[in-house]
A and B are shown apart, each in its own frame.
Chain A
C-alpha cells in the first residue's frame, strides 16, 4: 500500500465516482518522499475501496481531517517532448 498526499483549494477537486487528474506526492518513507507525480486517478472516501491511501492538505498547508483511498490509473506526462 502506498501513501499519497494532495493539496486542494476546495474539497470539490476530489470528486468521487469518476476519473480525475491531480498532482500527488508520495509519503512513502525514503529519499524520494514528498516528490510529485501528475496522475489520472479515482478517489473514494471509503477507505478500503482502493489500494492506496490519500491524505489531504488545503492551499496553505492545513491538514484536512478528510481521508480517502486512491487508485492511480496512470501517470500523465505534462512535460513537453523537447525536454529530456
Chain B
C-alpha cells in the first residue's frame, strides 16, 4: 500500500478542506441557538462546502465545524485522496485499508496531549461552558454529541468501543442519549453493567480526526483504535483520561469524562434524525453523568445536522454499511460485484450486484445481510445481476421494475430487529425496535433457459455488433451531436 497522508486531526482536516475549496471560513458571529444549525443544514441540502464558524455568540475562543463528511469530496480528503476521486475508487481504498494488518494505537504522555490544555473538574464542571448548539428548532435540547465518539471498555474482556451515539445536554452535569440495544454499547450495558447495577465509565471525544470519526460510526468488528490506525496508516495517538482508565484520542478538541448511570434515566429527544424526520419521541434514555471536561485552546466543536439528504449520517453510514456488507458476503464466497447504498435512501436500501451462480443466491444474501450486525439499520435489500451497474440508479431501477416478479421476487421477513427511528413503523414497533424486512430479487431465475426464456436487454451496448457501436461512437459529433462526457 502506498504511504497514506491523511489529516491527523480535525484541525489538519479543516485546513485541507479550506485549501481544496471544500470548507468556508465564516468570520462573522454566529448564534449557537439555531443559526449555526441552520447554516449546517443548508450546506448539507446544497451539497455545499463545510462551514467553519470562527466566532460563536456567548463563547469567545470556541469555533464550530459543521457537515464534516457530508460529501464524497470531503470523504476523499479525509482519506488523503484526491478530492475528485470517484465513489468506487474511495470504496476500493476503504476496503484495501480495512483489510490490511491492524495498527495498534500508542498511548502518549498527558503533557503532550493537546486535549489536556484546559481541565475542568469538581464544581467547575459545567457543560454550558462549551458552545453546545441547539441544532434544530424544536429539538428536545442542545446536543453535545452529534459528531463524536463515546469511548467505553468491557471491564472483563477489555474490548474497547468507540461509537457515535447522540448525546443531549439535560443539565450542566447530565447528558442523555439514544444508545440502541443492538449497538455495541447497548450490548455492553445490558450484558454487564445494568444487571450488576454498576456505573459504566465513559469518555466522549468531540472534534476528532475525520478518520477517527469514520471509525466510530463504522459497523466494523475491528476495535476502533486499531481501525483508525488501518485507515490512516499510522498508530492512533491516545491519552489516558483524568478520572477513569479509558484512553481517548489525544488530538481531539474536547473530552467529556463521566459515568453511565445504571439506575437513573432522564428524558432525551426529540431530535432531527438521519431518516429526514423527528421520529423517535421524547423518552427516558441512557443517562451520562459528567465528572470532568478537558479541551484544547480555541477548541472547535463539530456539528452534524441530520435531516433530509444529505448529511454524514446518510453519506458515511451508507458508505460503511455497504462496504462492510460487501466484506461479509465475500467472506462467505458469494460472487458479488459490489454493494452500494444510495445515501438518499437514508441508508435503508442495500443494492447488491451478484453473478447469479445458483438458485436462491438473492435469499442467501438477504438472510446474511438482515441477520448480521448491520441488519437493524436497513430494511430493503435489492439484488441485481453482475451486468447491472449498482452505482447507476437508472439501471438498477429498470432492473427492479422489469425483473422483480411481484409474487416470486419479493420476500418479506417478519419480526426482525428494527430501530425506533423507522418513520414507516407503527408506534408499537418503534417502541420495541420491531422490524420487518423485504428482499427484491431482480435476478433472472437460474432455471430459465438463457436463450428462450430470458428476455434480451435492448440497449445500445447489448444489441449492436461491436464494429457498429464503435462506428457510431466515433462519428457521434460528426452526426451533429455535442460530445458526450
Contacts and interface: CB of A to CB of B under 8 A. Distances in A.
A2 to B, nearest CB: 16
Interface centre among A30, A33, A61 (most CB of B within 10 A): A61
A62 to B, nearest CB: 7
Nearest to B130: A31
B383 to A, nearest CB: 35
A63 B138 contact: yes
A19 to B, nearest CB: 19
A37 B138 contact: no
B261 A80 contact: yes
The DSSP consensus for interface residues of chain A is loop
Interface in A52-74: 57, 59-63
Contacts of A84: 291
Given A35-B171, A61-B270, A80-B263, A25 B278 contact: no
A9 interface: yes
The DSSP consensus for interface residues of chain B is loop
A34 B134 contact: yes
A32 interface: yes
Interface of A: 7, 9, 23, 25, 30-38, 57, 59-63, 78-80, 83-84
Given A61-B139, A61-B278, A83-B289, A36 B171 contact: yes
Contacts of B139: 61
A34 B264 contact: no
Given A60-B270, A80-B263, A83-B264, A34 B281 contact: no
Interface in B245-273: 259, 261, 263-264, 266-267, 270
B169 interface: yes
B197 to A, nearest CB: 10
A7 B267 contact: yes
Contacts of B33: 33
A57 B269 CA distance: 12
B336 to A, nearest CB: 39
Interface in B312-347: none
A34 B169 CA distance: 9
Given A23-B266, A83-B264, A34 B289 contact: no
Contacts of B174: 79
B172 A79 contact: no
A59 B281 contact: yes
B262 to A, nearest CB: 10
A36 B141 contact: yes
A61 B264 contact: no
A34 B141 contact: yes
Contacts of A30: 58
30 contacts: A7-B140, A7-B267, A7-B270, A7-B282, A9-B282, A30-B58, A31-B59, A31-B129, A32-B128, A33-B33, A34-B142, A35-B128, A35-B172, A36-B170, A36-B266, A36-B267, A37-B171, A38-B266, A59-B270, A59-B281, A60-B138, A60-B270, A60-B279, A61-B138, A61-B140, A61-B278, A63-B138, A78-B264, A79-B264, A80-B264
